[in-house]
Structure 1
């Protein structure tokens, strides 16, 4: 048995996974477009290059994702991806990367449980918490 996280994207799955691969040192496994899948014939021409299924491995955690039609998309709520950082500087760096074009919920700061902690929603609509326990 395994546990993965699946995220629906508003047409930005490929861009998001390429960003995560570059900045979170992830490895993309699958990036399957609608045009290269068995459901290609049922999709409109402007949707053929969108992603029907993708996965990426980041530090032994698998994220999966897909693009959903705009009328089906809902921004993720009720959870955050928690990124454990090894230093205060790494929290600051990851915060700068993830907050660019996104929404800052809580700027990096010291808390009673963390040397550096921040909350951000990235430009792809994915909510993140960044934590450094040292």
Structure 2
């Protein structure tokens, strides 16, 4: 096996989502982007957030499922300001699963679904 990486399947807004992610996380970039099918209806891309590589596609097929919070992206923040900023941007238009707070296992923590349905855990360690 040469590697393993998370794969996110979007349905119509994948390119918008990854552009949003790389705009809010420093040291992030799109490393490949390919459009296939009629009028580029199926997009496949790779991108990185803080060195972690992700794959994603925009499926041209409508599926009866989407993202679930049981799989989330866990972000360890370097400062309270960084956590607060990410919380604001990722929760806007999405849903708060666990509001910002101190939960005993973390100095400050939040869990949100963003406007694209992807789940994020934001942590500021002790």
TM norm structure 2: 0.89
Which of 113, 116, 119 is matched with 1:127 structurally? Answer: 119
Q: How does 1:95-114 map to 2 (within 5 A)?
A: 95-114=87-106
Q: What is aligned with 1:115?
A: 107
**Higher CA-based Rg:** 1
**Deviation of 1:2 (Å):** 1.7
Q: Which runs of 5+ in 2 are unaligned?
A: none
| 1:49 has 2:40 as partner | yes
Q: Distance in 2 between matches of 1:113 and 1:51?
A: 41
1:59 paired residue among 50, 53, 61 = 50
Summarize the alignment of residues 1-134 of structure 1 with structure 2, pairs less than 5 Å apart.
Answer: 1-25=2-26, 26-34=28-36, 40=37, 43=38, 48-69=39-60, 71-72=62-63, 74-77=65-68, 78-134=70-126
Number of equivalences = 123
Give the alignment's Cα RMSD to 1 decimal.
1.5
Gaps of at least 5 residues in structure 1 are 35-39
* Distance in 1 between residues matched to 2:51 and 2:31, nearest whole Å: 12
SS in 1 for 2:40: coil
